[in-house]
Amino acid sequence: MKIQSIRGFRDILPPQSGIFASFEAKAREVFARYGYSEIRVPTVEMKELFVKSTGETTDIVEKEMYAFEDAGGRHLALRPEGTPGVVRAYIENNLHAQDPRRKFFYVGSMFRAERPQAGRYREFEQIGMEYFGNAHPAADAESIALLASVLSAAGLTDFRADINSLGCAQCRPVYRQNLIAFLNSRKDALCENCKKRIETNPMRALDCKTDGPELFRTAPAQEFCPGCAEHFAAVQSLLKETGTPFEVNRAVVRGLDYYSRTVFEFRSSAIGAQDAIAGGGRYDALVGSMGGPQVPAIGWALGADRVVSLLEKNAAPQSGPGVFVVSMEEATHRTAFRLLAQLRAAGVCADGGAFAQSMKAQLRAADRCGAKFAVIIGGDEMQKRAAALKNLQTGEQKEIPFDDLPSILKK
C-alpha cells in the first residue's frame, strides 16, 4: 500500500526548500533591524480562541478551519492564522507587565481547508508580525514599511501596497448601518453569500468576488470621525517619510472582525490569480476583548509560499558541495572517510562516502551533486599520504598531502 500526501498539503523539496530558508533568513535580519523578537506559539489552540478573535462569521472560521475534538473531548483547531495565538500568549504570559509596547515576529505553518489551486494550499507558511502597545500612527507606518522592507530584502520589487482605514468603534457602526440600508435596498441583486452577510458581516460584501466590484462603485463611502481621519492622514504622511510607495484603496476591507482603523494589503500581479501576498491592519480592541488589558496593536502576515514562487523565477541554481571525497578500494575507505570528517570539521562543505559504488560511479555522483573538486584516494595515495585533487570543471589534477587538504580546500 502506497500512502500519499493529502490534497492541499505538499512536500517542499530542494531547491525550493532552500529558497524558503534564505527568504526566512532575510526576513529575520530585517525584523532584527526594526527591533522585533521571534515568538513561537503552538500550532494547535482551543477552537474558541479563533472563533472569538478571528470572528464567528468569517470564512476562515466558518468554512475553513481544521477543528476537531481530541481524546479528552476538548474542541481544538489547527491555527488558521497567527494573530490569535500571539495575542493569547501576550495576555497569558503577562508580556505587557513591564511595558505594554512589545514587538514580535513569527514564522510558521497555517492551516485552512480552502479549495486547493495554484498558490493556494491547505498548509501554507506565513511570516508575520504583531506590534503591541503603540496607538500612534507611527506604529502603522512602521509596520507597513517593515513589510515592504522584508519583501525588498528578499529581492521582490514587483508588488503594490494598498492601504485603507475602516474607522473605529465610533464611526464604523454608523457606516455599518448605512451600508446595511444600502445592501437591503438592492438585496435581490446580491449573491446568496452577500444576502446572508447583510446582517452578519456587511463590510465583507465589499470584497465579495461576485458583488464586490459593483457594490464598491455604488455603495456609500465611509465617513470617518475626526480621530480616525486624523490618524489615517498621519499614517500616510509618516509612511511617505519611510519612502514606501503606497496607494489609498477603499476596496481594502480585510476579511476579519478584529480590525479597526488602518488596514492594508500587498499584491503582486506576477503571481497570477492568487495575487495577495500579504495583509494586515490595526486591531486596537482585540487584546482587551480577549481578556487582556486595553492595549492597542497592529500586525500583518505574508504568504511565504507565494513570495517563494515569485523568487523561484529568478533564483540562482543552488550550488553543490565544494568537495566530494572518492575512495578507490576497500583498504582506503577508512582514510577517505576520516579525511571527509576532517574537511567538514574545518568548515569545508564536503560530501562523499558513496563507497558501495565503483570509483567511476563515485565521480559521476560528484558531478551530479555539483561538487567543484573531487578528492580521490587509492592505494598509491595512501602510500604517499597525499590525495589526488581533481578540478571537476577543468579536469586538472594535483597531488595534495593529506595534512594540507583542509586548509587548501577551505580557501
Q: Does the footprint of ligand AMP cover residue 79 (CB under 6 A)?
A: no
Q: Which is nearer to ligand AMP, 274 or 335 (CB)?
A: 274
Q: How far is the CB of 37 from ligand AMP (least distance, A)?
A: 21
For 65, other C-beta atoms within 10 Å of its C-beta total 22
Q: Mask 300-329, x = binds ligand AMP (CB under 6 A)?
A: -xxx-xx-----------------------
CB distance 303 to 275 below 8 Å: no
Q: How far is the CB of 322 from ligand AMP (least distance, A)?
A: 36
Among the listed ranges 21-29, 130-138, 272-280, 389-397, the one in contact with ligand AMP (CB under 6 A) is: 272-280
Which residue among 180, 276, 349, 392 contacts ligand AMP (CB under 6 A)? Answer: 276
Residues within window 96-135 making contact with ligand AMP, judged by CB under 6 A: 112, 114, 120-121, 124, 126
Q: Mask 352-391, x = binds ligand AMP (CB under 6 A)?
A: ----------------------------------------
Tell me the residue nearest to ligand AMP as measured from the CB: 303
Q: Which is nearer to ligand AMP, 26 or 112 (CB)?
A: 112
Residues that bind ligand AMP (CB under 6 A): 81, 112, 114, 120-121, 124, 126, 276-279, 301-303, 305-306
